[in-house]
Chain A
Amino acid sequence: MESLTNRKKVVSDKPMTFIEKLYLPAIFSGMWITMKHIFKRKKTIKYPEEVRVFAPVYRGQHVLKRDEQGRENCTACGLCAVACPAEAITMVANERKSGEEHLYREEKYAEMYEINMLRCIFCGLCEEACPKEAIFLTDRIVPTEFERNDFIYGKDILVESMDNRIDITKRQNTGKRGAV
């Protein structure tokens, strides 16, 4: 039969020669290989001291963005929760009262917004689904915890603070807000 790829290999079943039966040449060549590896450059990155360079589109811990005036972008539309294949996101919506205009950008906001980091698979579909440029994945790594409950992140962790804003300008899903 004609092969579809050029990767076809004919398996040979010829008996071993005397030299091959001795195994020693094969053993020595194997040991030569491992010896060469001893002196090779090590691939290890000593993590807490050295950090690998992340890609600008790395999908790590989420952030809920605020706009330029410090108002939360999220309107609790629930599209992220619907898009989430792991069902990690849950939220409770609430209406913006008068006097709260400096806190929330639109008339509806998320009173409670939780992501279960143990369920999250960091696929980035929430970011893609969000019409308001509210949720983004960042290049931060979710830290380890001892208790399962500590992995359910609420708004206190997810919403960025104005003093310490998270840069998302290099991500792919920016600019949607102006387009709509």
Chain B
Amino acid sequence: MDTALLIEKFVLVIVVFLISLGVAAYSTYFERKLAAWIQDRIGPDRAGPFGLLQPIADGVKMFMKEDFIPKSSDKWLFIIGPGISMFTALITSTIIPWGPPIEIFGRQITLQIADFNIGILFIFGVVSIGVYGIMIGGWASNNKYSLFGAIRASSQMISYELAMGISLITIILMSGSLSLNGIIEKQHGMNWNIFYQPVCFLVFFICSLAETNRAPFDLPECESELIGGYHTEYTSMKLGLFLFAEYVAMFISSAVIAILFFGGYNFPGMDNFSGNTLAILGILAFLTKTFIFIFIFMWIRWTIPRFRFDQLMHLGWKTLIPIAIINMLLTGVVIAFSKGWL
């Protein structure tokens, strides 16, 4: 391995890390703004122009607050919990292809930290480890509300991962590859998966709402029933990490949706460009799609009321999983026919 590659990857890691954190920070700001607009208010506008410094003020506030660890809690697990949440949320960004290869100093640089050939499985595995952060945090708090939140989080995660995985198999069938790059290349130009698999997209989208614990599936932390759920006992930056991890996870799952169904960095008319122009336009297209999904995530949160827990389970097991299975079988049959296997 040459030094240039090492430096290139190092810079890329730092940039992706900062972008993920920056986007997450400003999605907290934008979420508050959007909530305000939907409710005919203005939203944060005191810190800096249009309140743009609000995330920094929030961060400073989180750091300055008293860091309290309850006596009856399991100290080490209590500390590890938010760390796992944040770590798993961030590490998924390593395999996301941010754009077509870019050329700097005569070197071809792929805008992806690591191109695993099982990319999508990696994301899936890491995301499901994410629930360990919530479970450990909720259990270690030694508080009934936290425990309830943790239990809800884990059962919700298991139920929705099934439907998500099955709808994912449909996409893998369509593109014949587990690598994210392979999936994106199959959707060249405007040949996006959404046009072939709208039902699959719907199932996947609902499941990713549930996976990121966003409303209407925010049962693990529902403020009105569980006083904050798994992070009831958390204070200061540990709470900040939990809340922040949710926004990072939202950014990443928006990116994954954009890759799987909306062609990643592909955009119509991309054959007219080449080289660095194509790369920059591709990055812009990809980020635009991601931000649109972040917006939709927030828009849904401020529109739809929370599910009851039995409704959540009903939707997961009795509706989404059968739909996903039927959709997968139909897709398989159609693909087999078109390839002449049947």
- What residues of chain A have their CB less than 8 Å away from a CB belonging to chain B? 27, 30-31, 33-35, 37-38, 40-44, 46
CB distance from A48 to the nearest CB of B (A): 10
Q: Is the CB of B303 within 8 A of A42?
A: no
> B1-50: which have CB < 8 Å to A?
34, 37-42, 45
Residue among A27, A37, A38, A41 having the largest count of chain B Cβ atoms under 10 Å: A38
Q: Which residues of B contact A40 (CB under 8 A)?
A: 40
Q: Which residues of A contact B41 (CB under 8 A)?
A: 42-44
- Option from A31, A41, A44, A46 in Cβ contact (under 8 Å) with B299: A31
B304 at the interface (CB under 8 A from A): yes
Q: Which residues of A contact B304 (CB under 8 A)?
A: 27, 30
Q: Is the CB of A38 within 8 A of B42?
A: no
B300 at the interface (CB under 8 A from A): yes
B302 at the interface (CB under 8 A from A): yes
The chain A residue with its CB closest to the CB of B216 is A27
Q: Which residues of B contact A46 (CB under 8 A)?
A: 42, 45
- Option from B39, B42, B303 in Cβ contact (under 8 Å) with A31: B303
Q: In the bound complex, what is the Cα–Cα distance between A41 and B37 (angstroms)?
A: 9
Q: Is the CB of B299 within 8 A of A35?
A: yes
- Count how many chain B residues have C-beta atoms less than 8 Å from C-beta atoms of the other chain: 13
Q: Is the CB of A30 within 8 A of B303?
A: yes
Q: Which residues of A contact B302 (CB under 8 A)?
A: 34
Q: In the bound complex, what is the Cα–Cα distance between A21 and B41 (angstroms)?
A: 33
A-B CB proximity, top 6 nearest: A38-B37, A44-B42, A34-B303, A34-B38, A43-B40, A31-B303
Q: Is the CB of A42 within 8 A of B299?
A: no
Q: Is the CB of B42 within 8 A of A42?
A: yes
Q: Is the CB of B300 within 8 A of A37?
A: no
Q: Which residues of B contact A34 (CB under 8 A)?
A: 38, 299, 302-303
Q: Is the CB of B38 within 8 A of A42?
A: no
CB distance from B307 to the nearest CB of A (A): 11
CB distance from B43 to the nearest CB of A (A): 9
Q: Which residues of A contact B38 (CB under 8 A)?
A: 34, 37-38
Known: A27-B304, A46-B42. A37 touches B299 (CB 8 A): no
CB distance from B41 to the nearest CB of A (A): 5
CB distance from A89 to the nearest CB of B (A): 37
Given contacts A34-B38, A38-B34, 18 further A-B contacts (CB under 8 A): A27-B303, A27-B304, A30-B303, A31-B303, A34-B299, A34-B302, A35-B299, A37-B39, A37-B40, A38-B37, A40-B40, A42-B41, A42-B42, A43-B40, A43-B41, A44-B41, A46-B42, A46-B45
The chain B residue with its CB closest to the CB of A39 is B37
The chain B residue with its CB closest to the CB of A32 is B303
Q: In the bound complex, what is the Cα–Cα distance between A40 and B36 (angstroms)?
A: 11
CB distance from B286 to the nearest CB of A (A): 24
CB distance from A41 to the nearest CB of B (A): 8
Q: List 25 A-B contacts (CB under 8 A).
A: A27-B303, A27-B304, A30-B303, A30-B304, A31-B299, A31-B300, A31-B303, A33-B303, A34-B38, A34-B302, A34-B303, A35-B299, A37-B37, A37-B38, A37-B39, A37-B40, A38-B37, A40-B40, A41-B40, A42-B37, A42-B40, A42-B41, A43-B40, A44-B41, A46-B42
Q: Which residues of A contact B42 (CB under 8 A)?
A: 42, 44, 46
Q: In the bound complex, what is the Cα–Cα distance between A37 and B42 (angstroms)?
A: 12
Q: In the bound complex, what is the Cα–Cα distance between A31 and B38 (angstroms)?
A: 10
